[in-house]
Amino acid sequence: MGYMFGNLPGIKLCQHRAVAWHLFGMGNEVDIHSAFFHGNTLLDRGHRTDVLSLFPATFATAEMVPKATGKWLLTCQVNDHLQAGMQAFYEVKSCGSEAVSAMGGVERNYYLAANKVLWSYGPLGRDLINNVSLTEAGSASEVFFGTDGGRIGGEYLKVIYEEYTDDTFTTLKPTPESLHLGILGPVLRAEEGDTLRVTFMNKADRNFSIQPHGLHYDKHFQGTSYEDGVDKPGSHVAPGQNFTYTWQVIEGPSPSDSACIPYLYYSATDPIRDTSSGLVGPLLVCKKGTLGENGTQKGVDKEFFLLFSVMDEKLSWYIDENIEKFGSNETNVEDEDFKESNLMHAVNGRMYGNLQGLQMCAGDKVVWYTFGLGTEADIHGVYFEGNTFKKQSTTRDTLNLFPHTTATAIMQPNTPGVHEVSCRVTDHFSAGMRQQYRVDLCPRHKLELTYKGGPTKIVQYFISADEIVWDFSPNRDWEMEIHHGTLEDSPGNMFVERGGNKIGSRYKKVVYREYTDESFTVEKKRQPEQQHLGIMGPIIKAEVGEQIVITFKNNASRPYSISAHGVKASSAHIPVKPGNILELTWDVPNSSGPGVSDPNCISYAYYSNVDFIKDLYSGLLGPLVICRPGTLQRGEGPDRQRDDVEKEFALLFMVHDENQSWYLDENIKTYLGADPDTLTRDEDFQESNKMHVE
């Protein structure tokens, strides 16, 4: 649009009259946008929201029938973009309309305070995923929890929302099932037609507020401060003062939504520094008749609320106080290691398995409400290991989040045990955005059998991990043609030209390959329609009700495994030593198959997880396709094809970071003839090893 800091002209709407918003995303990797329409909600492909997410080269159209008059902000809630001026106004006028939404709900009262606390990102003192101390020398967690060199460590002064029993703010309200909330404020719940009255007491030491997503309110009760000619006392509640917000739930979940939809509430006096200091909580808006007398959802056994955020403590109001309290005379705020140590990759303010309370019974109806917050680094691919879930009537075991967006996952766990819920963005995974949830066998539920009478079919695959030399760019003719010049002028030269300190396009890798039988002597030749798979392993296919049997041989020089999303797997976490063979079974229950809104087949991935990050960047990844019964009609065994489509393609979009491959040192020796210990690994060298492929 070409305007910044509220200078966009001409966005004028009429109250109660339909408006279409067409949004466009363009740019590069920082152009991840969360467009927040303050004051009103929209329908995005039939789903209620007030935030639209945009990537480069993505386009969105949403419908709004504005209910609240006034001048409202339209902002990108990605922290860097908000601070840099990605803000505009839209104005809603009455235009003579007198339509009034019938409320007819109940009034729900909450008493919240902002309290200053000492917060620990790792209160148990250990990385419970890897069973080591958080300050173990050389560990990934030591970067964030160590205190030498002037680093702060894992404890910080923060400010959080806490709930009280009444407006005297003397007694904290005991809230069952709240252990897992961590740093989050209490869950605010309401149904369509209700009024929320939230009395806020600021017990902290600077101005704060409460600003909700998804609700309607008069300007007087808005928690965001900006110049629109209207006084907003709720946008800056002073220390020691209180303010009562009145918010209406005019628009609840749409017919296409689940019974309740999640939003965030947060302090917006300074939305970046306030949330970085800890002031954020979950808000649940439900259809009429959904909530029971105790305020929880009817027909739901467990609800969990998870905030995935890289919490940048450098942006907290209390960074100076934290340095004074926990730093030393070695503390240097400009030091890159110090800056990195303050980026706390957390789920509900906990890291490395330190979030407690994620417990449920097999067979429970469990609803996970997930939230994103932060900056452009806060792109999260959340993986629920061990169980699938339903999201908008599709079957998944992963979901994605961006700042100020939410996602709902409805799960009926059927795999007992301790499983991981984590962000699979590799940097975030390594930096501690990993937690565990536990599924117990409980008397009140009879665990559903995976198969009644055994699997309908057993499909056998013979797969090995083979070390090969892979050429990312075997032919540069197309590259030269598209850039109309010499290869030296091509942007691709940085990555595929060999010479100097650049390895070039050829690297030793390890890949999954299919063999004809358990002797692993004859590799199965890829047919013309399979050539596009490239570096990936074979497409493993099965229908719901079947069992996949994988005979896995490790032909490589270090331990690897084969582990799949979406299915019930045996032996998935067992590392297979070089030269050894392991048989695994992957069961395909109904919960693994396509949902009502899915196509006939859905895709998952399989990969090695001995060291998820290094194994992945070394090349071990393949596609897994699960279909409805009766879909794979052409061919036999592992060669079966779908009869409802003519062709299938599996495409992987990924920046292969060869700097994190197990074989980097070997590639340096082979292609540069250099000593890996003495080679200067500068920024150009590292950039040249990031292969942008599909």
| Helices and strands (H and E) in the chain: how many | 11, 43
Radius of gyration of the chain (CA): 27
Q: Which of 260, 423, 601, 627 is catalytic?
A: 423
What is d(CA 413, CA 164) in angstroms, rounded to the nearest whole number?
A: 34
If you ran DSSP here, which 8-state letter would residue 180 be given?
Answer: G
Amino acid at 445: H
CA trace torsion 440, 382, 472, 526 (10° rounding)? 50
683 vs 694: CA distance, rounded Å: 24
CA-to-CA distance for 237 and 141, rounded, in angstroms? 37
Closest C-alpha among 326, 335, 389 to residue 146: 326
Bridge partner residues of 70 (DSSP): 92
Pairing verdict, β 568-569 and 581-587: antiparallel
Q: What is the DSSP string of 493-534?
A: HHHH--BTTB--SEEEEEEEEEESSTT--SBPPPPGGGGGGT
DSSP state of 291: B
Q: Please, are residues 215 and 129 in contact by the beta-carbon 8 Å criterion?
A: no
Contacts of 380 (CB under 8 A, 6+ apart): 308, 372, 400, 401, 402, 423, 425, 428, 433
Distance CA 38, CA 571 (A): 49
Residue 197, judged by CB atoms within 10 A of its CB (0-12, 13-18, 19+), counts as middle
Best CA proximity match to 582, nearest among 597, 593, 590, 572? 572
Q: Is 423 designated active site?
A: yes
Cα within 13 Å of Cα(481), Cβ side: 4
- Residues 6+ positions from 357 with CB-CB distance below 8 Å: 177, 178, 179, 180, 181
Asked whether the beta carbons of 201 and 169 are under 8 A apart, the reply is yes
**Cα 261 to Cα 392: distance, rounded to the nearest angstrom:** 11
Q: How far is CA 531 from the centre of its chain?
A: 32
CA distance 280 to 275: 6
Residues contacting 280, CB < 8 A, separation 6+? 161, 183, 184, 185, 264, 265, 266, 267, 307, 373
**Which residues are within 8 A (CB) of 440 and not within 5 positions of it... i.e. 6 or more apart?**
359, 360, 361, 362, 416
DSSP secondary structure string, 26-64?
-SSTT--EEEEETT--EEETTEEESEEEE-TTEEEEEEE
Q: How many residues does the chain have?
A: 694
Beta-bridge partners for 244:
199
**Beta partners for 367?**
303, 410
Q: CB-hemisphere CA count at 13 Å for 484?
A: 0
Strands ordered across the beta sheet of 621-627: 540-543, 621-627, 601-607, 563-564
SS3 percent helix, strand, coil of the chain, rounded to 5, is 15, 35, 50
SS3 label, residue 357: coil
Which residues are catalytic, by number? Answer: 423
